[in-house]
Amino acid sequence: STPVVIFCALSKAATTGLLVKGGNYLETLAKVKMVAFDKTGTVTRGEFTVTDFQSICDDVSLGTLLYWVSSIESKSSHPMAAALVDYARSLAIEPVPENVEDFQNFPGEGIFGKIHGNEIYIGNTRIGPRTGCSKDSIVEAKCTGGKTRGYVYLGATPVGTFSLSDSCRSGALEAIKDLKSLGIKSFILTGDSHAAALYAQDQLDHAFDMVYAELLPQHKAELVELLKKDGTTAMVGDGINDAPALAAADIGISMGISGSALAVETGHVILMSNDIRKIPKAIKLARKASTKLI
Ligand code: ADP
Ligand code: MG
């Protein structure tokens, strides 16, 4: 049976918007020494704006490129996808997802789809090798302001580039500072570029103890396993790509509103709002509940 103090703490947590899936997770929360955060959609809003979109191939018009990209991105649930679809629509180009065949998602890299016989890859530089494109045939563009850079390939030929910007959640800095005051270290674990990850770190006064970027989903899980050797580790994330790391952590915390169904299912604690300041609050509550048990 659940001790009364645990039961009270669980229901108190629930009223503050935190769903803890069992008393044992409350005990683990009380012991947390490190919190690893996914970046996109967790530390940042995950609400991207397209700041630049170009055709880099004379044979492919910007209109065709936008039609391909928006149609294929319509099938993706990544936060970047919605921004690219909105951008095409703002230029009066309507995506036609029904025309997309063989859609594939490559977590941490990008997506693939066939449209009118054209094989299109959209993603970061890591998707290049899948297309058969030789590594140096695309010049990695220098990006300012921590933007996320995207590339479009027609078969093995690079045909387009784009940039997207996102911004940090308003409560992010406070959350990391509160964790620090509880003696807890914070990390960023992201699939996004080093530039985008370091930009978020800059925006947050270098509050994170360490930033790890360009990670594939299994790399996030491996890093969590490494952190666990130094103490109880929580992982906070929202994406399908975060599920392995959420499962690997001593305690997985998922974003309830923006989170993917898989992340919400995998997490042991669900943040019912997107307010990550609730995490240090939950740890304080869990510590109180555990001391009352002794
Ligand atoms: P994070 O760990 O920050 O949440 P993800 O693992 O979701 O990042 O994504 C990593 C990278 O993979 C993105 O920054 C992007 O470059 C690429 N990517 C993922 N999905 C898509 C998509 N639908 N369209 C284009 N690029 C994508
Ligand atoms: Mg994410």
pLDDT in tens, 205-233: 999 999 999 999 999 999 999 999 999 99
Pocket residue to mutate for ligand 1, from 151, 169, 192, most atoms within 8 A of Cβ: 192
What CATH number is given for 49-165 in this structure?
3.40.1110.10
What is the reported pLDDT for 290?
82
Locate all alpha helices (DSSP H) within the chain, ordered by sequence.
4-15, 23-30, 62-73, 79-90, 128-131, 172-181, 194-203, 217-228, 243-248, 261-266, 278-293
**Protein residues whose CB sits closer than 6 Å to any atom of ligand 1:** 38-41, 73, 76, 78, 80-81, 108-111, 122-124, 148, 150, 190-192, 239, 241
Per-residue pLDDT tens for 228-269?
Answer: 999 999 999 987 789 999 999 999 999 887 777 888 888 899
> Average pLDDT, stretch 148-166?
94
Q: How far apart are CA 274 and CA 288, in angstroms?
A: 24
- Residues near 34 by Cβ (< 8 Å), separated by ≥ 6? 184, 185, 186, 187, 227, 230, 231, 232, 233, 234
Buried b (16+ CB within 10 A) or exposed e, 209-225: eebbbbbbbebbbebbe
Of the candidate CATH numbers 3.30.465.10, 3.40.50.1000, 3.40.50.2000, 3.40.50.10790, the domain formed by 4-44+169-293 belongs to 3.40.50.1000
175: left (phi over 0), alpha (psi -120 to 50) or beta: alpha
Please state the pTM of the whole predicted model: 0.90
Contact 141, 27 (CB under 8 A): no
Residues annotated as catalytic (active site), given as ranges: 38
Half-sphere exposure of 231 (CA within 13 A, CB side): 12
- Same fold flag, 4-44+169-293 and 49-165: no
Q: What is d(CA 40, CA 38) in angstroms, rounded to the nearest whole number?
A: 6
Q: Where are the domains of the chain?
A: 4-44+169-293, 49-165
Ligand 1 atom at shortest distance from the alpha carbon of 46: 4
